[in-house]
Chains A and B, each alone.
Chain A
Amino acid sequence: MRILARSAAVTLAAATTIALTGACSPPEKESEASSSGAATATSAADLGGMDALVAAAKKEGALNVIALPPDWANYGEIIKAFGAKYGITVNSAQPDGSSQDEINAANQLKGQDTAPDVFDLGGAVASANTAMFAPYKVATFDEIPAGLKDANGAWVNDYGGYMSIGYDSAKVPAPATVDDLLKPEYKGKVALNGDPTQAGAAFGGVQMVAVAKGGTPEDIKPGVDFFGALKKAGNFLPVDPTPATIESGQTPVVFDWDYLNAAQSKKLTTWKVVVPNGAVLGSYYVQAISKDAPHPAAARLWQEFLYSDEGQNLWLKGGARPVRADAMQKAGTIDAGAFAALPKVEGTPVIPTEAQSTKAKEYLTANWAKAIG
Chain B
Amino acid sequence: MAGRSRPRAGALLGTVPFFAFVTIFLVIPTLTVVIGAFTGDGGRGFTLENVRALTDEYILAAFGRSITLSAASAIVGAVLGALLAYALVTAKPDGLLRRVVTAAAGVLAQFGGVTLAFAFLATIGLSGFVTLWLQEHGLDPYANGVWLFELPGLTLVYTYFQIPLMVIVFLPALDGIRPQWREATASLGGNTWHYWTRVAGPLLAPAFLGSALLLFANAFSAYATAAALVSQGSPIVPLQIRGALTSEVVLGQANLGKAMALGMVVVVAVVMTLYSLLQKRTAKWLG
Which residues of A approach B to under 8 Å, CB–CB? 1, 3-8, 11-12, 14-16, 18-20, 98-101, 104, 121-122, 124-125, 128, 188, 192, 194-200, 203, 231, 234, 236-240, 248-250, 361, 364-370, 372-373
Give the contact stretch, choosing among B57-65, B91-99, B177-185, B206-214. Answer: B57-65
- Please state if B113 and A7 are interface contacts (CB–CB under 8 Å): yes
Give the contact stretch, choosing among B7-15, B246-254, B270-278. Answer: B246-254
B287 in contact (CB, < 8 A): no
A selection of 19 A-B contacts at a CB cut-off of 8 Å is A4-B231, A5-B117, A15-B33, A15-B257, A98-B248, A100-B245, A100-B248, A195-B243, A197-B243, A197-B247, A197-B250, A237-B149, A250-B125, A361-B250, A366-B56, A367-B58, A368-B233, A370-B58, A373-B65
CB contact under 8 A between A369 and B28, given known A15-B245, A122-B248: no
Q: Which residue of B lies closest to A250 (CB)?
A: B126
- CA of A234 to CA of B249 in the docked complex: distance in angstroms? 26
Contact of A197 among B28, B31, B234, B261 (CB under 8 A): B234
Q: How far is the CB of B128 from chain A (nearest CB, A)?
A: 10
- Please state if B246 and A11 are interface contacts (CB–CB under 8 Å): yes
Contact of B146 among A121, A188, A364, A366 (CB under 8 A): A188
- Please state if B113 and A100 are interface contacts (CB–CB under 8 Å): no
Give the contact stretch, choosing among B82-90, B102-110, B165-173, B222-230. Answer: B222-230
CB contact under 8 A between A104 and B246, given known A19-B32, A188-B142, A195-B233: yes
- CA of A99 to CA of B247 in the docked complex: distance in angstroms? 8
- Please state if A198 and B251 are interface contacts (CB–CB under 8 Å): no
B175 in contact (CB, < 8 A): no
- Please state if A250 and B127 are interface contacts (CB–CB under 8 Å): yes
Question: How many residues on B have C-beta within 8 angstroms of the other chain's C-beta atoms?
Answer: 52
- Please state if B227 and A200 are interface contacts (CB–CB under 8 Å): no
- CA of A367 to CA of B56 in the docked complex: distance in angstroms? 11
CB contact under 8 A between A373 and B233, given known A5-B114, A15-B32, A100-B247: yes
Contacts of B28 in A (CB 8 A): 16, 19-20
Most A CB within 10 A of own CB, among B29, B228, B243: B243
Contact of A369 among B114, B227, B233, B238 (CB under 8 A): B233
- CA of A6 to CA of B223 in the docked complex: distance in angstroms? 10
Q: Which residue of B lies closest to A369 (CB)?
A: B233
Q: How far is the CB of B135 from chain A (nearest CB, A)?
A: 12
Contacts of A240 in B (CB 8 A): 231-232
- Please state if B243 and A239 are interface contacts (CB–CB under 8 Å): no
Contacts of A237 in B (CB 8 A): 126, 146, 149
- Please state if A98 and B114 are interface contacts (CB–CB under 8 Å): no
Contacts of A101 in B (CB 8 A): 246
Most A CB within 10 A of own CB, among B114, B126, B249: B249
- Please state if B125 and A199 are interface contacts (CB–CB under 8 Å): no
Q: How far is the CB of A358 from chain B (nearest CB, A)?
A: 9
Q: How far is the CB of A96 from chain B (nearest CB, A)?
A: 12
Contacts of B257 in A (CB 8 A): 15
Contact of A3 among B113, B125, B246 (CB under 8 A): B246
Contacts of B227 in A (CB 8 A): 5-6, 8, 11
Contact of B251 among A15, A128, A372 (CB under 8 A): A128
